[in-house]
Amino acid sequence: MAIINQATKELQLKIVYYGPGRGGKTTNLEQVHANLGNVQEKGKLISLATSSDRTLFFDFLPVEAMAIKGFKTKFQLYTVPGQVIYNTTRQLVLRGVDGLIFVADSQYEKMAENAESFQNLEDNLKSLKLNLADIPYVLQYNKRDLASAAPVDYMEFLLNNREAQVPSFTSVASQCEGVFESLNMITRMLLHKNINESSRRTP
Amino acid sequence: MAGLPQLIEDDVRALEAALDELLRRSDAGAALVIDKGGPLISQRGAADKFDATTVAALAAGAFSATDMMARHLGETSLSHIYQQGRLVSLLISNVDDNLLLIVVFPAESGVGAVKYYADGAVARISAQMQNAAQRAPGPGVDLVSLNTLDVSPVFRKSG
């Protein structure tokens, strides 16, 4: 839930990258960190990883941007550990989430893991009394450069086949393709959501 | 989970007053109020000497993980976690459903005294947050200036 501080004129938003293990969530954050150009301030990229460089708890990148005139908008970007055994820590990272980027692995042989991870996301949100339908999210189909990548239509059918479809992006996160597009879209969706909630509160 | 209420000037002043008193009485070096999701809400003392944003995110994770571990052991109420260091020690106290208090203090100081004064600060902060939650929500963020048709991205790639 967005944190609004009227006194300090700050809006804080938490965006979580979710998806199967080795799908490219950490790579997304690394690319954002390495290539951010216009923000006022970006913090350090913190990775709580295992000795084999797999995410153990989360990666964290704080960034600030002038998304709204007169308001300092602080974004906290998190990844979750993709490995199945770390489900409890995924639940912890989801606490207070405002928006999600689901990073799917485009390789055919990863489709079952994609579907499983998406179901796991819904289950974990439910455990926090949250509903995916209420949380803005986008889909990112990563690793499009690999020969074994499934057609986008197939991935749409698998992951975006709901009553309300969400924006989806193809990406090659290792080359920073599709990374900023996904991040900017979820940012836009979050700001719109806050506009709507703000206008509902205004007498 | 209701989430953190909107904070106004009164809330921020009350939080800062509670933290200032805690620092004055306990000789702690820095005190932070953070959301359990990770965001930093308020900071006083020498918090400018370290990366408070990152410390807040890590402390939220540490408290959540310890809380979950405690639940697996059958303990349902975790009020504090304490980390003793060689130079500085850390006390993280549960404030309410949404907030945590972090106190950074010299390792040679006794945790008992810090915890005693931290409990006082927790009570003040908790009371103020109850006031904030009962207050009618304000108009929120004035987003009138945001042109929703403007498609320019918030984040741009360098180069």
Domains and CATH numbers, chain B: 9-134 (3.30.450.30)
Which residues of chain B have a CB within 8 Å of the CB of A11?
A: 141
DSSP state of A128: T
Instruction: Give percent above pLDDT 90 in chain A.
Output: 67
Residues ≥6 apart with Cβ < 8 Å to B139: A198, A201, A202, A203
- Give yes or no for a contact between A61 and A45, defined as CB atoms under 8 angstroms apart: yes
Residues ≥6 apart with Cβ < 8 Å to A125: A94, A131, A132, A135
Which of A35, A63, A92, A93 has the most B C-beta neighbours within 10 Å, making it the best mutation to test the interface with B?
Answer: A92
- Interval B87-104 mean pLDDT: 96
Nearest one of B43, B18, B13, B41 to B104, comparing CA atoms: B43
CB contact under 8 A, B35 and A3: yes
CB contact under 8 A, B6 and A4: yes
Which of B141, B149, B152, B156 has the most A C-beta neighbours within 10 Å, making it the best mutation to test the interface with A?
Answer: B141
Distance (Å) from the C-alpha of residue B44 to the closest C-alpha of chain A?
14
CB contact under 8 A, A65 and B155: yes
Q: Please give the pLDDT value at position B158.
A: 84
User: pLDDT per residue over A177-196, tens digit each?
Assistant: 999 999 999 999 998 887 66
A88 closest CB neighbour out of B68, B138, B156: B68
Mean pLDDT of chain B: 89
Q: Please give the pLDDT value at position B157.
A: 85
**Confidence check: pLDDT of B44 > 50:** yes
Quick one: A3-195 is in which CATH superfamily? P-loop containing nucleotide triphosphate hydrolases (3.40.50.300)
Contact with chain A for residue B149, Cβ under 8 A: no
**Confidence check: pLDDT of B127 > 80:** yes
Contact with chain A for residue B146, Cβ under 8 A: yes
Q: Please give the pLDDT value at position A203.
A: 46
User: pLDDT per residue over A51-69, tens digit each?
Assistant: 778 888 899 999 988 777 7
Which residues of chain A have a CB within 8 Å of the CB of B56?
A: none
3-state secondary structure of B124: helix
**Confidence check: pLDDT of A173 > 70:** yes
Q: Please give the pLDDT value at position B143.
A: 54
**Confidence check: pLDDT of A29 > 90:** yes
Which residues of chain A have a CB within 8 Å of the CB of B6?
A: 4-6
- Give yes or no for a contact between A103 and A23, defined as CB atoms under 8 angstroms apart: yes
Q: Please give the pLDDT value at position B149.
A: 47
Residues ≥6 apart with Cβ < 8 Å to B77: none
Q: Please give the pLDDT value at position B138.
A: 55
Which residues of chain B have a CB within 8 Å of the CB of A56?
A: none
**Confidence check: pLDDT of B61 > 60:** yes
A65 closest CB neighbour out of B3, B51, B154: B154
Which residues of chain B have a CB within 8 Å of the CB of A92?
A: 61, 64-65, 68
Q: Please give the pLDDT value at position B104.
A: 97
Q: Please give the pLDDT value at position B140.
A: 53
Mean pLDDT of chain A: 91
B9 closest CB neighbour out of A7, A58, A62: A7
pTM of this structure: 0.90
Distance (Å) from the C-alpha of residue A62 to the closest C-alpha of chain B?
8
Instruction: Give the separation between CA B32 and CA A119, rounded to whole angstroms.
Output: 36
